Amino acid sequence: MAAQMTDAHRRFLQVLMSHGIMEGSEARKLHRRCCEIHKVYYAHDKLDDFISTINSHLQPLFMQIRKGMSEGDGRAHYALVNLAETEITKMASDYTENELELFRKTMDLIILSENGFASSTDILNLTDQLKTKKMKKKEAEQVLKVFVEDKWLSERNGEYTLHTRCIIEMEQYILSNYQDVARKCNICHSLAIQSQICESCGIGMHLPCVRKYFRAQTEPRCPQCNDFWSCDIPGMNRIDSQSPSKTGRAEKSFILGTRRC
């Protein structure tokens, strides 16, 4: 049964909405503050119930506060997303036609890439192919900056990937529109943009999921085919020996999150 919305819920929603996405501990702090300000009953482990109440009222508006994991550090994040099935509806009102086209093409590059990243050079080269309206490279650079500010893309060393907020919001869209290419993590079954892949059987896993899964194991083995997992596991020192060339490749995969081990 849906509980009533109180001003505490409304304040939480307003703040989350203005941030777009919030990390788990931030959200918990906000939950406590909102309950304190409006003198509403607070229990520190009831954030999910609190959010469910809000969600029951957001449902008729085709919106939802959804929880997702950051592919970088594995931390939980909460984002307010648009559930409407139509394509990139939330973005549609904020950007021009050719900006949206650039974003779609960038998303293609990222999803089709080996490591879940697209270089800025590759993205800027796309500007010549825009069908809606041409864009100069300088302009495209600015547009990319705005996408990063608005948390649709993240940038690292001149390379771009999808921001956690984008992944949370567009997961369904990506899984249905990139069915053959988009990967799901073998551990948590969510969309994986950056992942490590088993060389033998091809299953993929998020880096934080890899870390968690192999933490307890002395000999990392693929959960699907049981072959030796040769990718460098993030956050762990490799004790056993490996041939130099393989180590070299494994090193690269840890730093760049390259898919192939």
Partner 1 sequence: MSQRKRSKGSGLSQGGDGDEDFNQSQMPTHSQVQRNLERRSQDQVNQKVSELVQFLLVKDQKKIPIKRADMLKKVIREYRDVYSEIVNRAGKTLQQVFGLQLVEIDTKHHIYILTSDLPRAEGENLHRDNQTAKLGLLLIILSFIFMKGNTAKDGAVWEFLRRLRVQPGERHEVFGDVKKLVTEEFVRQKYLEITPIPLTDPPEFSYQWGPRAAKETSKRDVLRFVAKIQGKDPTFWMSQYNEAEATP
Q: Return the range that interacts with partner 1 (CB under 8 A); candidates 61-69, 132-140, 163-171, 243-251.
A: 61-69
**CA 34 – CA 188 distance, rounded (Å):** 31
Q: Which of residues 128-167 bind partner 1 (CB under 8 A)?
A: 149
Q: Which of residues 81-100 bind partner 1 (CB under 8 A)?
A: 82, 84, 89-90, 93-94
In the bound state with partner 1, the residue whose beta carbon lies nearer, of 82 and 247, is 82
Cα 208–chain centre separation:
12
3-state secondary structure 184-197: EECCCCCEECCCEE
What is the CA angle 23-83-143, rounded to 5? 65
Q: In whole angstroms, how close is the CB of 61 to partner 1 at the nearest point? A: 5
Q: In whole angstroms, how close is the CB of 173 to partner 1 at the nearest point? A: 16
**CA 161 – CA 25 distance, rounded (Å):** 24
Q: In whole angstroms, how close is the CB of 127 to partner 1 at the nearest point? A: 23
Dihedral angle sign, alpha carbons of residues 162, 164, 170, 175? positive
Nearest to 163 by CA among 85, 79, 254, 84: 79
Q: In whole angstroms, how close is the CB of 46 to partner 1 at the nearest point? A: 20
Strand 159-162 to 118-119 pairing: antiparallel
Q: Is 13 in the site for partner 1 (CB under 8 A)?
A: yes
Q: Is 67 in the site for partner 1 (CB under 8 A)?
A: no
In the bound state with partner 1, the residue whose beta carbon lies nearer, of 27 and 58, is 58
Q: How many CB atoms lie within 10 A of CB 194?
A: 23
Q: Is 249 in the site for partner 1 (CB under 8 A)?
A: no
Q: Return the range that interacts with partner 1 (CB under 8 A); candidates 14-22, 130-138, 187-195, 202-210.
A: 14-22
For 134, phi then psi, to 5°, come to -60, 150
Query: Which amino acid does the sequence have at 151?
Result: K
Binding track over 209-248 against partner 1, x by CB under 8 A: ----------------------------------------
Strand 196-197 to 183-184 pairing: unpaired
Q: Is 7 in the site for partner 1 (CB under 8 A)?
A: yes
Q: In whole angstroms, how close is the CB of 18 to partner 1 at the nearest point? A: 5
**CA 26 – CA 104 distance, rounded (Å):** 30
Q: Which of 2, 3, 14, 49 binds partner 1 (CB under 8 A)?
A: 14
Question: Which residues of this protein are in contact with partner 1, per CB under 8 A?
Answer: 5, 7, 10-11, 13-15, 17-20, 33, 37, 54, 57-58, 60-63, 82, 84, 89-90, 93-94, 149
